Each structure stands twice: as structure tokens, then as C-alpha cells.
Amino acid sequence: FPMRSLHYLNTFVPSGYAFVSVDVRGTGASFGGRPVDLIDREVQDFAEIAAWTKAQPFCNGRIGTGGISYDGITGALMAAQGNITAAALLFAPGDIFEDIAFVGGIPTIGFVDMY
């Protein structure tokens, strides 16, 4: 459980939301792999996670998502599927190409090389 998620736990759970910490496909304790970020299969995983969570006895059907940067993007994709009741997203670009990789049409080489 990443400590950076503690504020979501402390905010969402007292408000009646289920909290499940998940490592995306091919990261952390998750199985599988992904050749690049945000592949279709990874996005499909979000719908499966939401369905699984809603089926659990601890869940009243209300699911919140949150995250910063990449976690925020995944939260936005999950919310776009209509499975989420609340989303707290920070610094999650809407267009990775224009907002991060080529800001104003200029390549941000430092980010691209680092990522």
C-alpha cells in the first residue's frame, strides 16, 4: 500500500466509498505486462477492477478514484467508463502528446528521455 494513497483512504472511506489499492498491469505486485502505458488491455482492466469492487460485500456501490500524474490519468480513464462515483485527480494531462511530450509543438526532450 503506497503511503501517498493514505490521503485518499482518509477522505473517501469516511464518506462511504470503497477503497482498493491496485498496481496496474505489469507493475508492482500485478501480473502481466504492457509494452507501453495505457494500452487498451490496461484500460479494460479498470472496468474489471470496478466491477469486482462493486461485487464485494464491503462496497455499497460507490467507488472513488484518485491520483497524481499517471495515476490521475488512469483515474480519469476509469471515470470516463462511467464506473466511478467520485474522482480526485491532480496534474493529470488530458493529452500526453501536447501537454507533456511536445508542449507548444516543441519536444520536451528531458521528459521523453527520462520516461
pLDDT by residue, tens only, the chain of 115 residues: 566 677 778 888 888 887 788 887 777 777 777 777 777 888 888 889 899 999 999 999 888 888 888 888 888 888 888 888 888 887 877 777 787 788 888 888 877 677 6
Structural domain count of the chain: 1
pLDDT value of position 10: 85
Q: Which domain holds residue 69?
A: 3-114
pLDDT value at residue 2:
64
C-alpha to C-alpha distance for 69 and 81, rounded to whole angstroms = 19
